[in-house]
A = this chain, B = another copy of it.
Amino acid sequence: MSSSIDSLLAAIAQRIGAAHVLTAPEDMAPYLREERGLYQGKTPAVLRPGSTQEVAFIVQACAAAGIAVVPQGGNTGLVGGQVPFGEVLLSLQRLDRIRQVDPIDMTMTVEAGCILDKLHEAAEAAGCLFPLHIASQGSCRIGGNLASNAGGTAVLRYGNAKDLVLGLEVVLADGRVWNGMKRLRKNNAGYDLKHLFLGTEGTLGIITAAVLKLFPQPAQRATAFLAVPDPAAALALLKRLRGEAGDALTTFELMAAFGVETVLNHMPGTVRPFRDRYDWYVLAEFSAPTRAFDLAALMEESLGTAMEAGEVVDAVIAASQAQAAALWRLREDMSEAQKHEGGSIKHDVSVPVSRVPEFLARALPAVEALLPGLRPCPFGHVGDGNIHFNLSQPVGMDKAAFLAMWEAFNRVVHDIVVEMDGSIAAEHGIGILKREELAHYADAVGLDLMHRLKRALDPAGLLNPGKVIHL
């Protein structure tokens, strides 16, 4: 550790308290381990400020010393965006106050370090819904969700994380605070600056607080687990259900047989939904803020028509909340269950919704041709055109040898995605994992604009350097 960083850390310790400047390896370890084990972080110190002003102090002090900063929320990111490689790590976890919940404005004002599930609870306590639902919601933090524009299982109805934001507070690269904490539904007073920071993974500024939209709480829910002949039938079903239920259709998830069987094999307490086995499944959930009509009846009638049309071949309808939860586990436990099947090479891609069947029809044989015995596990948010195109290794293959093929699989899968006008990063972001892929595929004008923004907002390149784009 150089003396320049020593004196920087001393100044920061004086401001935020020595207890919040972690330098012992065992204290720092939880911030440097990363979910997928793809990266090992390295930092001189983990800083845990307790307020926006302390974040600003740290960023300003680091900028003055020419030291780069990596912001981190719950450390649940899947593309390494939150991993430091020698930079100072700034953890937002202590900024965890819910400043206000307003059920008339239908807004919630929160700090970046709030755990997502706490926001669900706070909204519910006020008779409202905060609809962002992702697998890591018990530990991820809203600042990270916003910086990475998280997606999840309710995007079909409520949009991505950034669609849920009205206002933002951000610490800029030079330590100034931009206060954009408006809770307005309409505001055209100048450029809408919050979009500089939503989804830009901490490379243009550090989100410290946000005003979020709330929604009416569902008064009824209806959940069904369906067997469908193929992805094309799933799409036809999607169109039918949206036509009949409109926005009451809030979840529509597609799963291949391998994934469901993997959950049933490995996750204790999971229950086989059908006596028979099928190739493709759909989890559909309906919800409505009103009791003015019978949602379950509407769902059952729609599904009946869909069965007559051959879009659905078998169906289980949850008769209780417990049954609904059991059906959800078949989808929610999929990433966890896959860990029991050895190495997994993951692609988080999207294509236009109408082209999901075509994507699967092209990508599945292509990856199987690259490695015979491969066990593809495609699943995800088909209503958003977003497929988690995960690939489990062949049985018995060496895990490291399999994972070494990651780039080769990227090329095959991403070539198809890009040819189909899709995205190689649908909801997990770019981080470090996909930076070279982005550089490979992104159009030159778009990349140039990204670089211009980075230079305009962080000319010294001190905010999460090397993430998303090279500077």
Name A's B-contacting residues (CB within 8 A): 102, 104-107, 148-149, 151, 155, 160, 162-163, 172, 176-180, 182-193, 195-196, 198-200, 204, 216, 235, 239, 242-248, 288-290, 292-293, 298, 301, 350-354, 381, 383-386, 421-430, 434, 438, 441-443, 445-447, 449-450, 452-453, 455-457, 468-469
List, in ascending order, chain B residues with CB within 8 A of A445's CB.
172, 176-179
A381 adjacent to B242 (CB under 8 Å): no
List, in ascending order, chain B residues with CB within 8 A of A383's CB.
185
A438 adjacent to B149 (CB under 8 Å): no
Integer count of this chain's copies in the complex? 2
A354 adjacent to B149 (CB under 8 Å): no
A191 adjacent to B186 (CB under 8 Å): no
12 A-B pairs with C-beta separation under 8 A: A105-B353, A172-B449, A184-B423, A186-B381, A188-B428, A189-B423, A189-B430, A191-B200, A244-B289, A245-B292, A246-B289, A453-B456
- Docked complex Cα distance between A185 and B446 (Å): 19
- Docked complex Cα distance between A446 and B179 (Å): 8
A350 adjacent to B184 (CB under 8 Å): yes
- Docked complex Cα distance between A180 and B443 (Å): 9
CB contact between A352 and one of B105, B200, B293, B455 (< 8 Å): that residue: B105
- Docked complex Cα distance between A400 and B96 (Å): 55
B351 adjacent to A184 (CB under 8 Å): yes
Which residue on chain B has the smallest CB distance to residue A183? B352
- Docked complex Cα distance between A273 and B424 (Å): 56
CB distance from A184 to the nearest CB of B (A): 5
Question: Given A353-B185, A386-B186, are A243 and B289 also a contact pair (CB < 8 Å)?
Answer: yes
CB contact between A244 and one of B148, B196, B292, B452 (< 8 Å): that residue: B292
B185 adjacent to A104 (CB under 8 Å): no
A186 adjacent to B293 (CB under 8 Å): no
CB distance from A53 to the nearest CB of B (A): 14
CB distance from A456 to the nearest CB of B (A): 4
A160-B186, A185-B353 are known contacts; what are 5 more A-B pairs with Cβ within 8 Å?
A180-B446, A186-B385, A190-B468, A191-B204, A245-B290
CB contact between A155 and one of B186, B243, B292, B449 (< 8 Å): that residue: B186
List, in ascending order, chain B residues with CB within 8 A of A288's CB.
246
CB distance from A409 to the nearest CB of B (A): 18
A290 adjacent to B427 (CB under 8 Å): no
A354 adjacent to B105 (CB under 8 Å): yes
Which residue on chain B has the smallest CB distance to residue A187? B423
Question: Given A246-B290, A298-B292, are A190 and B469 also a contact pair (CB < 8 Å)?
Answer: yes
List, in ascending order, chain B residues with CB within 8 A of A301's CB.
292
CB contact between A193 and one of B423, B429, B446 (< 8 Å): that residue: B446
List, in ascending order, chain B residues with CB within 8 A of A186's CB.
151, 155, 160, 350, 381, 384-386, 423, 426-427
Which residue on chain B has the smallest CB distance to residue A447? B190
Question: Given A185-B353, A350-B185, A353-B104, are A163 and B160 also a contact pair (CB < 8 Å)?
Answer: no
- Docked complex Cα distance between A449 and B197 (Å): 12
CB distance from A336 to the nearest CB of B (A): 22
List, in ascending order, chain B residues with CB within 8 A of A151's CB.
186, 188
Which residue on chain B has the smallest CB distance to residue A103? B239
CB contact between A456 and one of B421, B426, B452 (< 8 Å): that residue: B452
A191 adjacent to B289 (CB under 8 Å): no
